[in-house]
Amino acid sequence: MKRWIRIFTISVFAIAAVSLVVIQFYQTRRTFSINDNMFNIGVGNAMDEVIKQLEGDVKGDDRQTGTAFSYQGLDSLITEQLLLNGIDIHPEVGLYNSSERSFLYSSDPKHEKQLEESPYRYNFHPAGVVSSNQLFINLAFPSAQLFLQRNSNLFVYMTFFLVLIIATMFIISLRTLANQRKLDQMKSEFINNMTHEIKTPLATIGLACEMLRDETISQDIDSRQNFIGIINDENQRMRVLVETILQSAKMSNKNFRISPKEVDVHQIIGKVAQSFTLTLSNRGGHLETHLGADPSVIVADELHLTNLVYNLIDNGIKYSTNAPEITVSTAIVDGKLELRVSDHGIGISKEDQKHVFEKFYRVSTGNVHNVKGFGIGLNYVAQVVKLHQGHIAIESTLGQGSTFIITLPLQ
């Protein structure tokens, strides 16, 4: 996906998401306003019925002072009428004399201040009682706001939840596309590197064959043996490359199984080290072995273990800027065979060490521009170690080299 397409897609989604939130916000305010009006209408209708019933119950003997007025059923009567009008909140109730600024009755004296300031005031004017403009029934709804929001909150939460889900899926989709693009780029680099890696030994083999056709060279036994050795080494190199690719592909299958048998690790190391003799000689390098493991025989897949050692040594040579200095050592540590392959190359940064065993991942080579690779060598090594129920670790410092530590069980 091109950069401008990603920016355009993200911008459109952001505008749509913000618009949806804004629309929902105004819709919620509108719904709240409608609920508020319905609440006020419900309270008004309920209080009209309450006052109508109370006026019919007031007796003539009680009209001058109101002191004999019965308040016993006032709370329950108001609550009943509110329920009939769809309001299930129990309010604080007070009978307020506005001329004297005092309450003749309040359901809870602690809330008299709230009752006095409440907008829910309803004239109570039975004939003959204090002036009709002086006596009020006041209501206070401590939880009215919660009541008004209850019906609209569900839709608000659902909207934000759905927006969150959509945003999450959008981000996941973008990351998937980005990873896919990265994977495609890695595969393209893999194909280019693979072509280069295979063309180089083919070209070397072709050149050696041409030289062997020369009668003057073919009659020189030393020269002939030298070119035959070159052909053999390049053929071995190409075989390992192809084998690594094929085996790495096979290992992607969860049903893949190795063929373990008793093998001597020291013999494998010796055979692999011999195959790098010409390469190291051409670059003025050398390979040292310190084979201290006893016993050196383990149960492993010989082919994959050979390829593992080859890949680690080959990596050490490729990533050495000067004459390669490779050290291969073995030891028995905690009842397991430990294999160490060290080099004095460019090293691996802490960030690269986190990804070095990932498929197609290639370590940044800095100023070393001639390094080619598939990005599957170390991934293949890690898979082989895992299949053998072993452990792999890396110790590296930029500019000083790297050490790969393989631990394998003896059985």
Helices (H) and strands (E) in the chain, counts: 11, 11
CA 344 to chain centre: 36
**Residues 301, 256: contact at Cβ < 8 Å?**
no
Q: Using the predicted structure, report yes or no on whether residue 340 has a pLDDT greater than 90.
A: yes
Q: What is the mean pLDDT of the chain?
A: 79
Q: Using the predicted structure, report yes or no on whether residue 291 has a pLDDT greater than 90.
A: yes
Per DSSP, helices labelled H in 252-357 are 265-275, 277-282, 302-318, 350-353
Highest mean pLDDT among 123-132, 227-236, 331-340 belongs to 331-340
**Residues 336, 407: contact at Cβ < 8 Å?**
yes
The pLDDT value given to residue 313: 93
357 vs 36, residue with greater confidence: 357
74 vs 1, residue with greater confidence: 74
Residue closest to 43 by CA, chosen among 120, 96, 113, 142: 120
240-251: average pLDDT: 73
**Residues 345, 353: contact at Cβ < 8 Å?**
no
Q: How large a percentage of the chain has pLDDT more than 70?
A: 83
Q: Using the predicted structure, report yes or no on whether residue 62 has a pLDDT greater than 60.
A: no
Strand duo 135-140 + 120-123: pairing: antiparallel
Return the bridge partners of 95, or none.
105, 137
Q: Using the predicted structure, report yes or no on whether residue 272 has a pLDDT greater than 60.
A: yes
**Residues 390, 380: contact at Cβ < 8 Å?**
no
Residue closest to 342 by CA, chosen among 326, 358, 357: 326
pLDDT band at 148 (very low <50, low <70, confident <90, very high): low
Q: Using the predicted structure, report yes or no on whether residue 28 has a pLDDT greater than 80.
A: no
Beta strand residue intervals within 179-296, DSSP E:
261-264, 286-291
CA 285 to chain centre: 44
